Structure 1
Amino acid sequence: MPYHQESDPTGSLLLSALLALSPLLVLLGLLGLFRWKAHWAGVATFGVSLLIAVGVYGMPPLMAINAGLYGAAQSVLLILWLTFNAIWIYNLTVHSGHFSVLRRAFSSVGEDIRIQAIVIAFSFGALLEALAGGGGPVAICSVMLIALGVRPLKAATLALIANTAPVAFGGMGNPITVLGEVTGLPAGEFGAMAGRQVSLLAIAVPFVLLYVADGKRGLRQAWPGALVGGVTFAVAQFVTSILAYQLADIVAAVASAAALLLLLRIWSPAGEPVTAAAIAGGGGAVEEPDPTRDSRSEVLRAFAPYTIIILVFSLVQFDALRAPLEAVGTTFAWPGLDVVSTTGAEVSTDYEFAIGSATGTLLLLSGLLSLPFLRVAPGDAALVWGRTVRQFGWAILAILAVFALSYVMNLSGQISTLGAWLATTGSFFAFLSPIVGWFGVTITGTDAGANALFGKLQTTTATQIGADPVLLGAANSSGGVMAKMISPQNLAVGTAAVGLVGQEGVLFRRIFGWSLLLLLAVCVLVFLQSTPALGWMVP
């Protein structure tokens, strides 16, 4: 028999909403207050979501567990396969010795670690987010910063905070594309609107990075670098989001990096250059500067994997190449999941095993093409891949558990309840709209996932309250990126990459305040854009 979702199972929408929200509150509390490790917090919260689904919503127990299995299976291609291969490429450069070359190349971007952090975590990280998305940028940028001497916890903190402004257009604009698909509205309009939101945020992010890296001294001495990097990124992202949102992050990343390199020709931070050893951080040894000078050919070899990634992801945008890849895989209805939504429509529970066109597969292909340049034998590459998987350890369980949690909440109707309650707030919903996306990314770990969950809710509610559906649909994506840094999946990826598995709670407390502060800024911006004050910004 099919399971019929209910948006108000208790008869009191407020009580139903509080119960639906309880798994997420438990998750945040276990990570932030009780300092649980991400995998145990994820498993415990998954249990809470099952209790709510069965005890409050009346979902059959076996179906609720099956929904969790379905969610865990979804994470395999979306997160695990992608992240394994992204870190594998990094580990290949370490194995071949070329990561030291890469480190020295980045250290040549001035002598100040704070400016290097902006170039790596913000600009280069945005490029990685544009191409691959997922946890790849956090993992790769974290280890790059460690290689420059930044201590592990601080490196992960910087990489997670930087992985905000580019997320709405990550994976070649995939979150915006998903938003267009689930709402039936033109994706290009959502892209242009999101560009009018996250580009303003991008101006602030480099300043936050300076403060996290070196406090008030960093802001006082290196603010011109943050200003040039942030403004250049913002302008490029804003303009490109109107013309071709799929390329917004690529253009912005390259423009900001180029602008910083040009700036460093005529400017350097006030005072003596600040090294990694001079900034506060927790745990880990700081490496001494490496005076080795590398030949141009070795530098090109070190950058070859990332150049190949750009080429591969650019080429597959052409139908002639993308179509054969999309044909490799299968789609089937997940057995035992027959769910009807509150509107009476059948909820899709198809499982798409699109292994050919998956981002992780394209990264794997890029890594294989990089082997001759890195001079790594295929057998050694396979051993490195195995070590990469083992490196994640308990982080794999954390990712599986949180995806299971998100799908139980979605399929049982808990997500619909939260949306129905928020819709009762009327015009104030414009302020709350980014918070809905924030919750979505916290639960799913991806902006595309949050748009798939809440995109239709946002545009439908906008129509009901007389707001612009494009504005609130884009707000879902823009607000969601603020949760990217605190999503358990990203925390697990970050700690695994820097060798601190189990310290997700510590990392969570370091960045949770920044997540809320940036979310508040987006809420205020979207609310003003829904009024005559900034309504002229809506395309």
Structure 2
Amino acid sequence: MLKVIFALLPLVSILFMLFILKKSSIFTGCVAVLITTAIAISPLFHTSIKILPTPFAKSFLTTSLVAYILFFGILLFHLMEKAGAIEKIASSISTSTNDRIYQVLILALGLSPLIESISGFGLAVIVIAPILIALGFHPIQSALIALISLCIIPWGTLAMGTIIGSTLADIPLTSLGIASASMCIPIYIYFAFLVTFIGAGKEAVKEKFSSVLFTGLLLGASVWFCNWFISVELAGLFGSLTVIAVTFFIIKWKNKKSFSKSPKDLFKNLSPYLLLITLLFTSRMLLPLKKFLSTWTITIEKYNFQFSPLYAPGFFLMVVCIFTIVVFKLNRINILESIKLTINKCYPIIITTFLYIVVSEIMSQSQMIQVLSSVAAQSFGQYFVLITPLIGAIGGFLTGSNTASNTMFIRLQTATAQQIGISPLLAASAQNVSSSLMTMVNPSRVALSCSVCQISELENNVQKKLTLVGIGTLLILIIEIAIIVVFNISFQY
């Protein structure tokens, strides 16, 4: 029992410092590393000090993959913002129709996922909420819809959190992507009806029931299709652009009129995203190109690390950043300001990710994960799989990051699943989806949305409403898992 208590202490300390003491994620990570190290080398776990540099080295290498994608992803967002492309895309979408339902759907399930796929970390709220207010939506409606629109987070910043989860859980990325997308389809339908109800009311849901259902299903199906047949990294981009394109077509077909913005202008503003999709698609689908790009590979066998800089999504993001600078003729001041903003947003995330991965690696190296998984398996048995979404949700809610949550919990989830004879993929995908979607309930995200909508005094009200949304999301996930287990649906890789 003493061993179990101390094995739990690193995770409990993280939750306590974040939730009770309200400490920063970096401070929390530093303290958690010290606590975990002290426990690992204690007589309870007998971990040699000589092997402790290994978790730090492995964590540094894993974090470098995150930084490579994250930096250029956020830089692309700021470059496009400086060029006015984001504002023009939003204007094209918001002025394409006077129908409030289509406005909500195209912004919440189209534009917001598009921005979140590249930039991540809730930046889409800053874009979506003001547009909704400008269109005449109440600030509380706008804040709620903007937060729910952060639904693509498993594939945010080119699926960074899912990639880290796949690496730590030792599950193929494609398998985790497909499984996560399968779980998200009913949830996206739920979100489609939810944002419509919040934005236009109960009667509007009844009136446009089939359109709302179709849009939610379209986002889920297109994300699933891209994970299966194209690329996990591209799924968020592909799904959001599919929703935007199809909805634009439906609006034009129903209204039988052209849009106020010319297709040429819209194409130019979307061109960086379209180029990114083209580059990633061809690099994954054309085998000779894939082989060429993978030729230069950095391999460190001691740490089981392999990295192909020219094949990684970060390289293509860098190319698209250069393309954006050239096409939109950004000057030196705009470029430097974008880089400065990017660094300011990046470094806290990168440091936090590194610290949490260190905690996870030390816990794994010292057998703490194995101790906790054995106890969980004995305590809950087959029912453990039903609480996997709750564990993921706690991580997503408290950290506001799918990457951080997966780093903390995905190894525990998959190790316990193996102990009780359940597919590790089922546990990993439940962790990945629940932690991603519950980041929208994170207090800092809610505070950001309320601040943008200038209703900070109503933050508690918005938090309560969004908590109910989160509970509904978790219930759907638990029902999905129960169906999979009861009917013995294959969930292998």
Tell me if both proteins adopt one fold, taking TM over 0.5 as the criterion: yes
Other-structure match for 1:531: 486
Matched to 1:412, the amino acid is M
Is the 8 Å Cα contact of residues 179 and 452 (structure 1) preserved in structure 2?
Answer: yes
Correspondence for 2:216: 230
CA contact (8 A) 1:126 1:250 kept: yes
Q: Secondary structure at the match of 2:97?
A: coil
Structure number with greater CO (CA < 8 Å, separation at least 6) is 1
1:411–1:262 Cα change, 3 Å:
same
1:272 is aligned to none
Give TM-score, length-normalised by structure 2.
Answer: 0.73
Q: Which residue of 1 aligns with 2:432?
A: 477
Q: 1:121 is matched with which residue: 70, 93, 108? A: 108
Contact 2:145–2:198 at 8 Å: present in 1 too? yes
Q: Determine the C-alpha separation between the residues in 2 that align with 1:451 and 1:443.
A: 12
Taking the TM superposition and a 5 Å limit, the aligned residue runs for 1:282-321 are 294-317=261-284, 318-321=286-289
Give deviations 1:482-526, integer Å, cap 9, x for gaps: 3443579x959978x9799x99x9897774553344123212320
Residue 388 in structure 1 maps to residue 341 in structure 2: yes
Equivalent position amino acid for 2:184 in 1:
V
**1:95 aligned onto 2:48:** no
Q: Judge conservation of contact 2:441–2:466 (CA < 8 Å) in 1.
A: yes
Structure having the higher helix fraction is 2
AA paired with 2:9? L
Mapped contact 1:459–1:472 kept (Cα < 8 A)? yes
Q: Aligned partners of 1:155, 1:355: CA distance in 2, in Å? A: 40
Q: Does 1:23 align with 2:10?
A: no
Which residue matches 1:279? none
1:210·1:218 contact (CA, 8 Å) conserved in 2?
yes
C-alpha distance in 2 between matches for 1:101 and 1:138: 20
Report the counterpart of residue 363 of structure 2 in structure 1.
412
Question: Which residue does the alignment assign to 1:257?
Answer: 244
When structure 1 is superposed on structure 2, of 175-184 and 100-109 the one drifting more is 175-184
Please state if 1:139 is matched with 2:123: yes
How far the C-alpha of 1:403 sits from its partner, in A, is 3.9
How far 1:228 moved relative to its partner?
2.5
Aligned residue pair count: 472
Aligned counterparts of 2:241 and 2:56: Cα–Cα separation in 1: 40
Output one character per residue of 1:113-132: Cα deviation in whole Å (capped at 9) or x when no partner.
663343233234445666x5
Assess if the C-alpha contact under 8 Å between 1:50 and 1:64 holds in 2.
no
Cα distance in structure 1, aligned partners of 2:322 and 2:414: 42
- Alpha-carbon spacing, 1:329–1:356, altered in 2? closer, same or farther (3 Å): same
Q: 2:195 aligns with which of 197, 209, 219?
A: 209
1:441 Cα offset (Å): 5.4
Q: TM-score, normalised by structure 1?
A: 0.68
CA contact (8 A) 1:442 1:486 kept: yes
Change (3 A) 1:121 1:22: same
2:63·2:353 contact (CA, 8 Å) conserved in 1? no
- Where does residue 42 of structure 1 map in the other structure? 25
Contact 1:433–1:475 (CA<8 Å) still a contact in 2?
Answer: yes
- Unaligned regions of 5+ residues in structure 1, if any? 1-7, 269-291, 334-347
Question: Any residues of structure 2 matched to 1:91-490 within 5 Å, and which?
Answer: 91-112=78-99, 115-127=102-114, 132=118, 135-136=119-120, 138-140=122-124, 142-146=126-130, 149=133, 158-164=145-151, 166-168=152-154, 190-211=176-197, 225-238=211-224, 246=232, 249=236, 252-264=239-251, 294-317=261-284, 318-322=286-290, 325-326=293-294, 330=298, 355-377=309-331, 379-389=332-342, 392=345, 396-397=347-348, 400-401=351-352, 403-413=354-364, 415-424=369-378, 425-438=380-393, 458=413, 461-485=416-440
Unmatched tracts of structure 2, length 5 or more: 43-47
For 2:486, what is the secondary structure of its paired residue? coil
Counterpart in 1 of 2:45? none
Cα distance in 2 for partners of 1:226, 1:205 equals: 10
Structure 1 residues 236 and 314 mapped into 2: Cα distance closer, same or farther (>3 Å)?
closer
The offset of 1:530, in angstroms, is: 0.6
- For residue 477 of structure 2, what is the aligned residue in structure 1? 522
Instruction: Give the Cα separation in 1 of the matches to 2:159 and 2:299.
Output: 23
- 2: CA distance, partners of 1:55 / 1:492: 35
How far apart, CA to CA, are the structure 2 residues paired with 1:77 and 1:187? Answer: 14
Do the aligned partners of residues 470 and 223 (structure 1) sit closer, same or farther apart at CA in structure 2, a change above 3 Å counting? same
Aligned to 1:85: 72
Query: Is the 1:403–1:443 contact (alpha carbons within 8 Å) kept by the matching residues of 2?
Result: no
Output the amino acid matched with 1:199: I
Q: Distance in 2 between matches of 1:469 and 1:390?
A: 36
Contact 2:94 2:131 in 1 (8 A): no
Distance 1:320 1:486, change over 3 A: farther
- Shift of residue 462, structure 1, vs aligned partner: 3.7
Could you give the per-residue CA deviations for residues 320-367 of structure 1, whole angstroms, max 9, x where no partner exists?
44455556674558xxxxxxxxxxxxxx75677765444344222102
Q: Secondary structure at the match of 1:485?
A: helix
What is the rounded CA distance, in whole Å, between the counterparts of 2:348 and 2:166 in structure 1? 32
Q: CA RMSD in A?
A: 4.9
Residues 258 and 511 from structure 1, CA distance in 2 versus in 1: closer, same or farther, beyond 3 angstroms?
A: same
Q: Pick one of 33, 50, 53 that aligns with 2:36.
A: 53
Tell me the residue number matched to 1:271. Answer: none
CA distance in 2, matches of 1:24, 1:215: 40
Q: What secondary structure, in the 3-state scheme, does the structure 1 residue paired with 2:41 have?
A: coil
Identical-pair percentage: 18
**CA distance in 1 between partners of 2:309 and 2:200 (Å):** 43
Give how far 1:297 is off: 3.6
Structure 1 residues 43 and 209: CA distance shift in structure 2, 3 A: same
Distance 1:87 1:148 in 2: 23
Q: Is the 2:356–2:404 contact (alpha carbons within 8 Å) kept by the matching residues of 1?
A: no
Q: Is the 8 A contact 1:101 1:294 kept in 2?
A: no
Q: Give the partner amino acid of 1:422.
A: A
